[in-house]
Amino acid sequence: MEPTPLTEPISLTAALASFSARWSPRIVTAVNDYDVRVAKVEGEHVWHAHDHTDEFFLVLDGELHIGLREPAGERTVVLPKGSVFTVPRGVEHKPYAPVPTQILLFEPTGTLTVGDRHDPVPGHVDATTGHALS
């Protein structure tokens, strides 16, 4: 879905207040060929990898943990509110939010939330390329 070009500023607070679903991102705008998405998250996502793109995370509120499976082994990065992290393309990762958390992501338009390779997708995770903001 092609986002409509912005003619007015978008409040991220209002955008996040417009939906309640967890792990189901909304597209707030686009930058070149990238979607800017916001999501509410809590609990575990799924182990997955994006083979052709990095994935950028900004924690707007709460705390996000990202498990990483790297050549040297598994590790977890912890992102408190205001932190950013980029998962490199091809790296298996599993986001987890121990508390209700709000995030902003940059991903190429059409990127699936569960990546190109993933474990079975649990019912609480929306396997989507993002939803339009209502």
Predicted confidence (pLDDT) per residue in 46-82, tens digit: 999 999 999 999 999 999 999 999 999 999 999 999 9
Decide: pTM greater than 0.75.
yes
Supply the range of the domain harboring residue 86: 24-117
Task: Give the CB-side neighbour count of residue 94, counting CA atoms within 13 A.
Answer: 16
Instruction: Please report, in angstroms and rounded to a whole number, the separation of the first and last CA atoms in the chain.
Output: 13
**Does some domain include residue 130?**
no
CATH code at position 74: 2.60.120.10
Q: Is residue 94 part of a domain?
A: yes
Instruction: Tell me if 126 is assigned to some domain.
Output: no
Is 9 part of a structural domain of the chain? Answer: no
Quote the number of domains for the chain.
1
